[in-house]
Amino acid sequence: MTAVSKHVVVIGGGVTGAATAYDLSLRGFRVTLLERGSIGAGTSGRTHGLLHSGCRYVADTEVARECYLENQTLRRIAPFLFEKNGGLFVAITEDDLAYKDFFLKKCGEAGIPVEEVEPAAALKMEPNLNPKLKAAVLVPDGTFDPLKVILSFLASAKRCGAVVKPYNEVVGFRVEGGEVRAVRVLDKVSLREYELEADFFVNATGAWANKVASLAGLHVPVKPSPGVMVALDGRIGNRVFNRLNKPGDGDIIIHQRGTSVIGTTSWIVEDPDGVSIPKEHVELMIKRGSEIAPVVSRMRVKAVYVSSRPLVGQAAQTGREVSRSFAIIDHSREGVGNMLSIIGGKFVTARLMAEKMGDAVCERLGVSVPSRTAELPLAPYWLYFS
């Protein structure tokens, strides 16, 4: 590893911040990661845990291909993190069935290997699926525990010398001469404030990116898009159940360990800290989930939770209308030359997002060290605590 005498502060301890800290520290930067709560306490720790195959996004071929390729990269560099159980897209109605040919064509264009199977064969694989299903397609989905993935990225970053500080919240910036000189941080454990100077700052706080950037007088065009998920008291399948239609509310059921999770709804809010769970969203999840697997209606609900996606967009009214790809926001246009923000994307594309952010930081700081995160195995998650 080549040592780089530049200090980078990464703000945000979700999967994007963790992957960015790993990418930069592997390139030789001195890295400090700040997280206002526990690791993964924001959006990343509350995802349903789907290792996307990309098939849900086939309407955008490039996003779907990107998702599938990262799916394969993560399986290669961290096989111990993922349940490689696969997934099924199933048609329940005639409208679903009408979507099938488009779906298969676009999967082919995106390079995603899928296989149509007879409904009887799908029911033999997954007896809890709706017995009236009209078509089924096998896809390379998988599942994971979000916290373990985040901890693996952070364990890898720490192995390269990164310093990780949970419960350290950025409460201000010192901006002088067109650059951020330092962040002002509240250590919630010792209840003291301190300043941390660095050469460069990365805002990887997802749905909170604009709230954090505004502390420096900057703007990030993020659209926080909450989604409600319902966890059932029991596991009702092996493969991921997807509804064969355009992405919509309650059209996916993910199984891992001893539970199954129905997801999700989607709407837009201004403040990700002020989100409550609408009762009607929970009822909709159970109704839609029961259409895919009737057993859902007889299951006890173990937990209901919500997380806010950091979608890219300005004018959308619902989360289904904005981009699922990602964007790096260059704050030099606002007069601050050493800070970038990153928003959008999906959990499965976090490594790629971090690689692109690492490239951008290197370009700004005049450093020429390529990313190696797609080649090297991730450290086991339990080493984070060592």
DSSP string for residues in 148-176: HHHHHHHHHHHHTT-EEETTEEEEEEEEE
Instruction: Put the strands of the sheet holding 87-91 in their side by side order.
Output: 115-117, 135-139, 87-91, 240-243, 252-256, 259-263, 222-232, 301-312
- pLDDT score at 320: 47
- pLDDT score at 315: 46
DSSP, residue by residue, 203-237 = E--GGGHHHHHHTTT----EEEEEEEEEEESS---
Name residue, tokens 């086991």: 380
- pLDDT score at 347: 95
Cβ contacts of 179-185, under 8 Å, gap ≥ 24: 179/336, 179/337, 179/338, 180/216, 180/336, 180/338, 180/339, 183/9, 183/11, 183/34, 185/34
Residues in the chain: 386
The pTM of the full predicted model, rounded to 2 decimals, is 0.95
User: Is there a contact between 83 and 234 (Cβ–Cβ < 8 Å)?
Assistant: no
- pLDDT score at 188: 98
Measured between alpha carbons, how far is 78 from 329 in angstroms, rounded to an integer? 29
- pLDDT score at 289: 97
The secondary element (H helix, E strand) that includes residue 33 is: strand 30-34
CA angle 27, 29, 31 (to 5 degrees): 120
Quickly count: other Cβ atoms within 10 Å of residue 165's Cβ.
16
Measured between alpha carbons, how far is 36 from 82 in angstroms, rounded to an integer? 27
Measured between alpha carbons, how far is 375 from 159 in angstroms, rounded to an integer? 16
User: What is the block-wise mean pLDDT of the chain (386 residues), using blocks of 10 residues?
Assistant: 83 98 98 97 91 94 95 97 96 97 97 98 98 98 96 98 98 97 98 98 97 97 95 97 94 94 93 94 97 98 94 60 75 96 95 97 96 98 96
Dihedral pair phi/psi, residue 65, rounded to 5°: -65, -45
- pLDDT score at 1: 58
Please report, as a single letter, which amino acid is at residue 280: E
- pLDDT score at 251: 95
Residue 220 in tokens: 């990030």
Looking at residue 323, the DSSP 8-state letter turns out to be B
Going from the C-alpha of 362 to that of each of 297, 321, 331, 336, 353, the distances in angstroms are 52, 33, 16, 17, 14
